[in-house]
Copies of this chain bind each other. A is one copy, B any other.
């Protein structure tokens, strides 16, 4: 354990917390529940953002920006929404501080806001208040907007990336002329998220619907993608909501149809957040540290020079620099770590901890023989290869690592979806093995609540591809038409 990292089997939760800190991804700040995203962690998030942004634009969406603050009264307009979001939130009540008689600074009670402002926990209300002005006619539809923003939810128990008071996310908010179009949009976006998670993050996900009690506050239908972490707990990685006409009615957003009738528009919203960083870390990493899929790695390749003299350094550097140029010209993100303040062993350790997919070491003997040593982070295997074939090899390897990570995570998930036929079996599997449990459920919130209370497992989703299968609810024995997926979850 060169990294002094707690192992996953010792204490998975501690392993995660330590890894986030030691790999320089994020840390807690002096502000309760708010994190600092460190440069290395932020560089990964930037790569996620860039790819998602590209995918959103390719599907016709545009970015915009709406206010951070939401007047308290806006929340009251959509009844279920206020219960879901406006309760645990940051409330701005004053707009000025002043010096007190002791030289300290205090809130100026003369500067009290007439109406309190809520720091946005999500932006449906402020955005729909705006859409009323933007939408008059069918010609203004569909309106396909996304926002990259920070949001605040006053969580009591926080964990870096997984649950923080402030987090970064994107929120799409779209308006459509028909119910059908809005449903198609909500489904399209959950497919975009699944595509991103699987092909870019190498994180396999299950697409499904949330049950009524797990839906977004204000939604008629919530699509989600659910991933499985190495400790057998599920993580909701993204959601896309069909909001019906709820917000259009609450904010009076109507449009003139082609026939000249006034109708309320249909809405969706969808989002993913810095929580994805948690999913990424917990899906691939191991006891040696972070493991990054090449698509997301800020540095895909690091070159470490090995030398004892200045002359050796010169010779090794020359080769390394040639490689850097060659790899960069082929679009590979490569770093040559020529710092003389750290030894090669220290660097090996560091890049293993930080999950750099490919490490190339070059020493004086390599220069002589025309070889380099290539190590891959996912399997920790090494080999010597001919210098002339490095870039070809590296490009193939990056592809292979990306695929391997996905396959590995897929196999793990496959092994950890268990079908059960009774409540006893349900509880036993949950206890012994965890993972997703595929079971029949009678469709009532009461049974769902009972299972949650007794086992801490929730219904993660009703899979989109669930097949008709007659069965009996594992708890009540009442008839059921398809299996749903249960798990303990982050």
Contact = CB atoms under 8 A, between A and B. Distances in A.
A62 B69 CA distance: 28
Contact of A95 (B35, B68, B89, B98): B89
B92 A130 contact: no
A90 B69 contact: yes
Nearest to A34: B67
A403 interface: no
A71 B71 CA distance: 23
Contacts of A69: 31, 34, 90, 166
Contact of A150 (B27, B29, B68, B91): B68
Interface stretch (A5-13, A38-46, A197-205, A216-224): A38-46
Nearest to A62: B39
B90 A95 contact: yes
Interface in A12-69: 27, 29-31, 34-39, 42-43, 46, 62-69
A126 interface: yes
Contacts of A116: 97, 107
A129 interface: yes
A35 B130 CA distance: 11
A70 interface: yes
B34 A63 contact: no
A406 interface: no
A90 B117 contact: yes
Contacts of A130: 27, 29-30, 36
B126 A30 contact: yes
Contacts of A95: 88-91, 154
A70 B91 CA distance: 14
Interface stretch (A72-80, A428-436, A472-480): A72-80
B94 A31 contact: no
Given A91-B94, A97-B89, A67 B29 contact: yes
A65 B161 CA distance: 12
A105 interface: yes
How many A residues touch the partner, as a band? 35 or more
Interface in A99-120: 104-105, 107, 116-119
A104 B82 CA distance: 11
A303 interface: no
Contacts of A62: 39, 42-43
How many monomers of this chain does the complex have?
A: 2
A82 B105 contact: yes
Contacts of A38: 64
A129 B30 contact: yes
B37 A68 contact: no
A302 B118 CA distance: 41
Contacts of A35: 67
Given A29-B66, A89-B95, 7 more contacts: A30-B126, A36-B64, A42-B64, A82-B105, A86-B97, A93-B94, A95-B154
A39 to B, nearest CB: 4
A96 interface: yes
A3 interface: no
A139 interface: yes
29 contacts: A29-B129, A31-B67, A31-B71, A34-B67, A34-B69, A35-B67, A36-B65, A36-B67, A36-B130, A39-B64, A42-B64, A43-B63, A67-B166, A68-B152, A68-B166, A69-B166, A75-B105, A86-B105, A87-B97, A88-B96, A89-B95, A90-B92, A91-B94, A91-B95, A91-B97, A91-B107, A92-B119, A93-B94, A119-B119
A327 interface: no
Interface string A292-303: 000000000000
Given A39-B145, A92-B91, A96-B87, A117 B31 contact: yes
A332 interface: no
Contacts of A139: 341
A162 interface: no
Report, nearest first, the 10 A-B pairs whose CB atoms are least far apart. A34-B67, A39-B62, A37-B65, A91-B94, A95-B154, A31-B67, A93-B93, A90-B92, A39-B64, A29-B67
Nearest to A129: B30
A386 to B, nearest CB: 34
Interface string A446-459: 00000000000000
A105 B72 contact: yes
A168 interface: yes
Contacts of A63: 39, 42-43, 46
